[in-house]
Structure 1
Amino acid sequence: MSQHHPLSSEIPSEFPVAQAIRERRTIRQFKSDPVSQELLLSLLDTANWAPNHGMREPWRFIQYMGEARRLFSNAVIGAMSVDERRRNEEQKLKDYMTIPVHLIVVMEEDSRNKQWMEDVGAVSSWIQCFQLAAWERGLGVVWKTNGFLSAPSFREAVGVERGEKIIGVLHVGYPEHIPAPRPRTRAIEKLTIHE
């Protein structure tokens, strides 16, 4: 068995996509090493090949790196209650200034239910494509959907416009720690077969 990953022996080497899907991990501890803008743009362009209905490409991105991470941090802290701020401000600021990149993924909201569902699926697919492409290049990602994303003060501070929904914040960087895989339920246990 390969020392690289416990599941490696189950995945033939001629299926690199399947291997990437199984090996990718959500990363919550990042090194402070910077990520180049060139690499980020390459990953964004790769993820743009995500399937999306009618080629609407309903996504856009707001990126914070370098000193601009303080603006992101202040937007998050500004959306906290007084009690949360008192308890968490110092740690949140330290954490957010360590993570190399914060990428807010925003979707145009469509008032038609079918199109809205399609667009949520498309943007979610985009995020997964981004995570897989980043993993292939040695970067880790965590996809966050915290309550502050809907706070008017946060939305205004980061430039989210009326008629847009934040699908998530992606924290991106080189992993400090890669967690062990957690077991998944076998598909057969959730599959209804009609023959």
Structure 2
Amino acid sequence: MEQSYLTKVIKERRAIKKGYTDKEVKEETVRELLEPAIWAPTHGIRQPWRFIFVGQDRLPDFAKKVASTYPEGRRENRENYLNEPNAILVVLMEESEIPKQWEENYGATAAMIQNFWLLAWEKDLGVVWKTNPHIYDQKVKEIIQAGENEKIVGFIHLGYFDEVPAKKDRISVQDKFTVY
């Protein structure tokens, strides 16, 4: 059976965690990728996401501020880590006090991130969704001026790359599938 283009992109997509080139990730590019990405399924068309783009020019200051929320002995490491990508897209979601809506919002935001990732891959832009401890830190929420009812879903590290990481196989659907 011939594989569709979409199947090919889904299977070839990788997490680009390091090895970024010096090519700048432009705000305009990220906006262009987000326009179709936000067509992810979203219950009640709530579209619970919000984005904060940290470009190459602002990244050193941003990294220093976020790293300052870590214990003294880890700050330099965290600052270097946050300066590795060429840009960071912070993705936030609107939290609901209703558990069902909270889960629907998280699912919609995760689907939107996957859409963004696939669209970025198609343009040779590397992406990795990071959920390091700082996304749960109230001080980081203050640094980025997140609302009281907003959750940081992740820091999306962005950068162009030369080497594609090796494929990591998945467990077969046959091993995860039953019929009721």
- Bin of the TM-score, shorter chain as denominator length: over 0.9
The code of the aligned residue for 2:64 comes to N
Find the counterpart in structure 1 of residue 28 from structure 2: 38
**Does the 8 Å contact 1:32/1:99 carry over to 2?**
no
- Asked if 1:191 is matched to 2:177, the reply is yes
Task: State the 4+ residue runs in structure 1 displaced beyond 6 angstroms.
Answer: none
Higher alpha-carbon Rg = 1
1:104, distance to aligned residue in structure 2 (A): 0.5
- Asked if 1:54 is matched to 2:44, the reply is yes
1:165 to 147, 151, 154: 151
Work out the percentage of aligned pairs sharing the same amino acid.
36
The code of the aligned residue for 1:129 comes to N
**Does the 8 Å contact 2:66/2:143 carry over to 1?**
no
| In structure 2, C-alpha distance between the alignment counterparts of 1:72 and 1:116, rounded to whole Å | 28
List gaps (5 residues or longer) in structure 2. none
RMSD: 1.5
List gaps (5 residues or longer) in structure 1. 1-10
1:18, distance to aligned residue in structure 2 (A): 0.7
CA deviation map 1:107-142 (0-9, x unaligned): 010101111111100000000000000000111101
**Does the 8 Å contact 2:26/2:55 carry over to 1?**
no
2:98 to 107, 112, 118: 112
Aligned length in residues: 179
1:150, distance to aligned residue in structure 2 (A): 1.2
TM normalised by structure 2 equals: 0.93
1:93, distance to aligned residue in structure 2 (A): 3.4
Change (3 A) 1:98 1:189: closer
Q: Within 5 Å, give how 1:76-155 maps onto structure 2.
A: 76-85=66-75, 89=76, 91-155=77-141
SS of residue matched to 2:83 = helix
